[in-house]
Amino acid sequence: MAQGRRRIRAERDDHGLAHHCRGRGSPHGCRDMSVTIRTLRDADWPAVWAILEPIFRAGDSYSFAADITAAEAHRIWVENPTAAYVAETTTRRIVGSYYIQPNQPGQGAHVCNCGYAVAAAARGRGVASAMCRHSQQQALAFGFRGMQYNFVAATNAGAVRLWQQHGFDIVGTLPEAFRHPEQGYVDAYVMYKLLEPAS
């Protein structure tokens, strides 16, 4: 089957609202962290912005302006997308968030796009994997048939490896399209996965 057209079965959860990560099921394991993924509420925004702000300010993974305001980030992450979610621990500490939205309007609206962010202290503990799995379940629930990551910096090796482990293919390379704050102009990848409901 051609690259980028790999069909992967994505399991549905019962309600499409929560996913639990309890030390297994992630390519790297969760190292005993347990998270529940639920819809983002208005009161969650300060905690989500506390995760997003240092990531955006660093400028080494997302292409948003490093001086983006909280209001603009809220519009991008919460207001514009189809839905946004948070990952919280058993003590109700928010350690991650993601959004889902159509990647294109009209004839391309059946393919979605997602953005993910994990708190620095929770990285490497399966949170991103849990959100990736949950986002695919939600994509199916919303009627999307595929998921596309448009602009993955090639220098973000951990993210590239993780998405590949979750069935995404690099279907295109944009030469020197990402301006890394330390490494200069580096390649960016387009990554894609065709989703198929579990039978």
Per residue in 18-33, pLDDT (tens digit) is 334 444 444 434 454 7
pLDDT reading at 162 higher than 80: yes
Given this model, what pLDDT does residue 24 score? 40
Where do we find the tokens 């207001």? 79
Pairing of strands 111-118, 7-10: unpaired
pLDDT confidence bin for 48, thresholds 50/70/90: very high
| % pLDDT > 70, the chain | 83
pLDDT confidence bin for 199, thresholds 50/70/90: low
d(CA 128, CA 55): 14
* CATH superfamily of domain region 7-197: Gcn5-related N-acetyltransferase (GNAT) (3.40.630.30)
Q: Would you give the end-to-end CA distance of the chain in angstroms?
A: 20
What mean pLDDT is predicted for residues 48-57?
98
- Give me 165's structure tokens: 């482990």
**Strand (E) positions, 18-163?**
35-39, 83-89, 94-102, 111-118, 146-153
* Single pTM value for the model: 0.83
User: For all residues of the chain together, what is the average pLDDT?
Assistant: 87
Choose the weakest-confidence range: 1-15, 75-89, 100-114.
1-15
pLDDT confidence bin for 6, thresholds 50/70/90: very low
